[in-house]
A and B are shown apart, each in its own frame.
Chain A
């Protein structure tokens, strides 16, 4: 199917204007971060005339930026590791035992969690974790893993419905145990949906603000990047250029990662939504 030329031109024009709306604010943020205070006071929109990086180094020196970056990365990676084991495991067990009461109940109850908004349990979580002395990164990771089950199970069990039971039976006849069948045969087949789960959750955890706000806002050593940016803004927002340098810095890691992985991210999400 070919598109006619005038239509192509209109499409491109519309897309370009749209892209301007997306890139404009980002460009502005970066350009303010690259200028001194005097330069922005005189003209807010002017592009940077030279490579002025002092704002960035001030932010990095003033706050323990690398430490926060590390915290964010650590929390995200460890949570994902746990999820990538636990979610396929429980999805497989449930999808192959839907006729048994226990598994059916586990499935139903965990799935109902989809309807529970985080805010409904925000206050009790804070209290509960305080009592368990888990208002720290360990507790946060446990929370993330727990909160990922509802959606993970939904996607995982749904995906496994399309993987024929004959595979299991064949492997059983070959004398393989359940665990072997899962880890050697099923898990590799689940990789597309695992990728979707990985992408959705890594974006959520990396960018999450609410859980760190209630669980980690007690000492700067604990902070993640979203918490850092919120707190940094509260403290020094009277300095535009510093604030925008901090915004840009906090966007930088994910932006860099995005450049290299955007195909997989978009592809993974598409994959997940078709299934």
Chain B
């Protein structure tokens, strides 16, 4: 009995091995081979076509499911499967480079790796495509990569200062409109025994977002200057605007919680929601989670003030943009789905929960909490995120270098480090 069992299993192992090897030979050469599985259209036997919607916003999972149900009712021949994973940018790159691209996906046009993949022709070029018809022209421009559109921009993101309205009221504080007023507000709060700011400086990513935002907001002509630095034609240490910029970052930390270096994004979010701090700087993507964490919190956002109120502007980046891979399956159905997702009505549903500003024409969106930010955006007082022009990896290095500066408080060393990060990057 035992003998037979063993032989059988051994045999099975051998056979499966042989199959593996065969698959290995076939698969190894298929790097550029086209996908065999139906690159086109509905199956002839009437079974529905399945497409995968790989979307990167975890807070949108529920609303996307609603929209998918609606889409499937209108298009009985198509089944859409939503896929949302953490670290989605890595997973996306991984899948596209191993010929496993999802049929429809969202990505960020400012992401350097996406840009590189798009330029290599891994993504369908949608410039002047009918799918772009509904997009606001200014936003279409904003999301161009070397003059071309590879995705349909649906939603926009910006960052700002969250503040606890109850604390502000109880301390009789006004919303600061200049940087000096912001510091003044913080001092008053501190005097009253309230922590003015929370920082989530344990994650370099949060620092990166703040630094990129403030560089774009406060340093004049920063884009062209950094371009010169990356071409080896200038040094950051020679630009007088960077020192005050770095000092500002440090100054604000004086009004932060004691353990800012030990606080992660989630911790800060939870603590802000529980009223432990008056202000917290991050993106509008936290709104939904703050409300979930504490539905009773009375809060809103204001734009990060500048030295001079006339210079006030806020950074805008495309936060949801939908595209199709060049070698994707079922492109026709994928297009139908994008068309559906970018109609005015559905965009309103999609953006409604988080209150994101829209990239599509005539869409009413924006929650009351962020009205001051949406106002800035509709007034055109915006600038695109400057990191869209940086090669891969630089923004993470900037975040980590700033984190180091928060620890050793050495501004000059920080500027030198920044210079080594950027200097001559384009020629390396």
Contacts and interface: CB of A to CB of B under 8 A. Distances in A.
Interface string A108-146: 000000000000000000100011111100000010000
Contacts, number: 77
Given A179-B3, A231-B85, A238-B270, A218 B95 contact: yes
A166 interface: no
Interface in A78-103: 81-82, 85-86, 89
Q: Is the interface of A mostly helix, strand, loop or mixed?
A: helix
Given A183-B2, A218-B95, 8 more contacts: A37-B293, A41-B274, A85-B10, A133-B23, A134-B23, A217-B91, A220-B83, A234-B86
Contacts of A132: 20, 23-24, 27-28
19 contacts: A41-B274, A81-B9, A82-B13, A85-B6, A85-B9, A86-B13, A89-B10, A131-B30, A132-B20, A133-B23, A134-B20, A142-B20, A183-B2, A183-B3, A184-B3, A218-B95, A231-B86, A235-B58, A238-B266
A238 B289 contact: yes
Contacts of A218: 85, 91, 94-95, 100
Nearest to A180: B3
Interface string B27-68: 110110000000000000000000000000010000000000
Interface in A22-60: 37, 41
A15 to B, nearest CB: 33
Interface of A: 37, 41, 81-82, 85-86, 89, 126, 130-135, 142, 179-180, 183-184, 187, 217-220, 230-231, 234-235, 237-240
Interface string B75-94: 00000000111110001001
B351 interface: no
Interface of B: 2-3, 6-7, 9-10, 13, 20, 23-24, 27-28, 30-31, 58, 83-87, 91, 94-95, 97-98, 100, 266, 269-270, 273-274, 289, 292-293
A218 B98 CA distance: 12
A85 B16 CA distance: 14
Contacts of A219: 83, 85
Contacts of A180: 3
A238 B31 CA distance: 41
Contacts of A130: 94, 97-98
Contacts of A217: 85, 87, 91
Contacts of B3: 179-180, 183-184
Given A85-B6, A217-B91, A235 B86 contact: yes
A234 B88 CA distance: 12
Contacts of A238: 266, 269-270, 273, 289, 292-293
Contact of B293 (A133, A142, A220, A239): A239
